[in-house]
Amino acid sequence: MGAAAAAAPIPDIVSTRKGVNIESLRLIRRGSFARLWWSGTVSSLGDWVALFATIALANEIGGVTGIIVPLVGRLLPGIFGAVGGVVADRLDRKWTMVIADLGRGVLVLFLIVVDSLLELFVISFFLEVLTLIRQPAREASIPNLVTEEQLVTANSLSLVSAYGTFPLGSIGWSVAAKIGEWIPEASAIGSRNLAFIADAATFVISGVIVATMTLETPEVPDDRRGDHRFDFRAPWQDLKEGIRFVAKEKHVRVIILGMAAALFGGGSLFVLGQPFSVDALNAGDSGFGVLLTALGTGVGLGMLAVASFNISGLRYEMFFALSLIVTGVATMFTSVVDTVFGAGGWVFVVGLGAGGAYVMGFSALHEQVADEIRGRTFAALFTVVRTALLASVALAGVVAATIDGRLPGPLDDGIRAVLMIGGTIILLSGVLSVWTIRDLIKGQRLSPEAKRSLGDASEAFSSLRGRRRSNRDDK
């Protein structure tokens, strides 16, 4: 009974109230979800610090071109991410996360001795492989740790811990660099190496925290078990089953493809943001900082906003689609403004829409997908969106150079044209998502019991009206 109680979702006595839900912060104060959240927050903070250190290392080894190497190394494993879903749906999810955390802690230490771009690529690649094994296990576990009413809040908190630690990570990298200047002993180690050591420590801390959680192991039915211990045909069947499920289920497919299209279109903003600020807005590198701040603030507020207000009457899928439309329109307006503050305003709206879409997309999948296939579903999501982002990173600069000077008006600038194309792709994905799930607008999310109650109430009301009309006729 103790294990079951520890793993039980935390009730939220105010989850149905309108307005800001302060009590939802109880989710990160105690219980298994709180431990999962704190482990993710700690490791994310260390990972952001290490990312800045990795970029600095790549720049030292190979210059500006070298910076692409660790980024590609982190994106490329996403193509094979579906394997992580099979692991999440077959093995103990808690220990899968623990082993992945400890493995990343060991691997990141090897960055201290890297002296070539090839070595940097290999380590970045396998770090991301372990991340892709951990992520489906983590996402598949969340609905088992909170109630259905808490899903949006839980996803908002999780995504804020993952991306909201970005500014803290940048501060951490700055502190690591200063420590190297202030302390002679630390200077001998190097600021980058201090960052890598700190990142390794956060992974170990994360693994220890997760190890203290109570989390149920997914049950593998007899028809999914192999004939013997090392029968690899059964996991292969799992992989194919997951692909068939995603391809067959319309509402799941809409979320995954919508997110992929959004990242494919929005990826151009990440790739071209700096040249957009310098060349199109004449705002220099400081202008790029304004755009990054606006985007990060918008994403954070968007994630928090959907958790802070009662939206239980709305379908997650519809809110997701509408958020994509907002993001697409804002990206299109960003491409045609002439001032950095005007662009910053629209980029802020881009962040609001993207943050809301991300939370609602995750919540929709958590709500609709059964536990036994949830890991493979999220693995498919991570695979598709990372592939889309990789394609966007590879194509944005090339397309901008190719169409530069070929379109009329403000889109004569290749960078602006690519941003307009990216916004259009996001907008169309939102519109197509609304069209695909339009049946949800007609139907309400009512349980059979609620429908019977409404029917009984309707019959009682009709009967009452009939008696009143009969009384008036008698008079």
pLDDT tens for the 475 residues of the chain, in order: 334 444 444 444 333 444 345 545 777 887 888 899 899 888 888 888 888 788 788 878 887 667 778 878 887 777 666 666 677 677 788 888 999 999 999 999 999 988 888 999 999 999 988 888 888 888 888 888 888 777 778 888 887 788 777 767 767 777 776 665 666 555 546 677 888 888 899 999 999 999 988 776 656 554 444 444 444 455 555 556 666 766 777 778 888 888 888 888 888 887 788 788 888 888 876 787 788 778 878 888 888 777 666 555 457 788 888 899 999 999 999 999 989 899 999 999 998 898 888 888 888 887 777 777 777 777 777 778 877 887 887 788 888 888 888 777 777 888 889 999 999 999 998 998 888 877 655 554 544 444 454 455 555 545 555 555 555 555 5
Same domain, 170 and 204: yes
Q: Which of 45, 376, 435, 439 minimizes the C-alpha distance to 203? A: 45
Amino acid of residue 318? M
Close Cβ partners of 13 (under 8 Å, ≥ 6 residues apart): 23
56 and 178 part of one domain: yes
The token pair at 420 is: 């307009």
Residues 203 and 250 grouped into a single domain: no
Burial of 253 (0-12, 13-18, 19+ CB in 10 A): middle
| 315 vs 320: CA distance, rounded Å | 9
- Look at residue 327 in the predicted model and tell me its pLDDT: 92
Same domain? For 202 and 248 the reply is no
Whether 124 maps to a domain, the answer reads yes
Look at residue 19 and tell me if it is in a domain: no
Under a CB-based contact definition with an 8 Å cutoff, are residues 88 and 376 in contact? yes
Buried b (16+ CB within 10 A) or exposed e, 1-38: eeeeeebebbebeebeeeeebeebebbbeebbbbbbbb
340 lies in some domain: yes
CATH number of the domain that residue 377 is part of: 1.20.1250.20
Instruction: Spell 108-141 as b/e; 16+ CB within 10 A means b.
Output: bbbbbebeebeebbebbbbbbbbbbbbbbbbbbb
203 and 254 share a domain? no
Q: Is the separation of the CB atoms in 3 and 210 below 8 Å?
A: no
Pair (361, 250) in one structural domain: yes
Residue 464 forms part of a structural domain: no
Please indicate, yes or no, whether residues 136 and 281 belong to a single structural domain of this protein: no
- The answer to whether residues 378 and 304 belong to one domain is yes
Where is the domain boundary, 187, 217, 247?
A: 217
Rounded to an integer, what distance in angstroms lies between the CA atom of residue 247 and that of residue 300?
31
> Is the C-alpha dihedral spanning 402, 404, 408, 413 positive or negative?
positive
Does 474 fall in a domain? no
Same domain, yes or no: 270 and 413: yes
Q: Identify the domain containing residue 356 by its residue range.
A: 238-438
247 & 110 share domain: no
Q: Which residues are within 8 A (CB) of 453 and not within 5 positions of it... i.e. 6 or more apart?
A: none
Q: Is residue 14 part of a domain?
A: no
Kindly report the number of other CB atoms within 10 A of residue 311's CB atom. Answer: 17
User: Are the C-beta atoms of 436 and 318 separated by less than 8 Å?
Assistant: no
Q: What does the pLDDT read at residue 206?
A: 92
- Give, in order, the Cα–Cα distances in Å from 133 to each of 34, 40, 103, 240, 315: 21, 14, 11, 17, 30
Q: How many domains does the chain have?
A: 2
The verdict on 63 and 189 lying in the same domain is yes
Please tell me the number of Cα atoms within 13 Å of 246 on its side-chain side. Answer: 23
Q: Counting every residue, how long is the chain?
A: 475
- Same domain, yes or no, for 201 and 333? no
Burial 350-359 (b: 16+ CB within 10 A, else e): bbbbbbbbbb
Identify which of 204, 270, 211 has the alpha carbon closest to the alpha carbon of residue 46: 204
Among all chains, which residue has been given the structure tokens 């279109």?
A: 265
Q: What span, in angstroms and rounded, lies between the C-alpha atoms of 190 and 87? A: 37
Supply the pLDDT for residue 460.
Answer: 52
Residue 3 lies in a domain: no
In this structure, is residue 457 part of a structural domain? no
CA 404/CA 402 separation, integer angstroms: 6
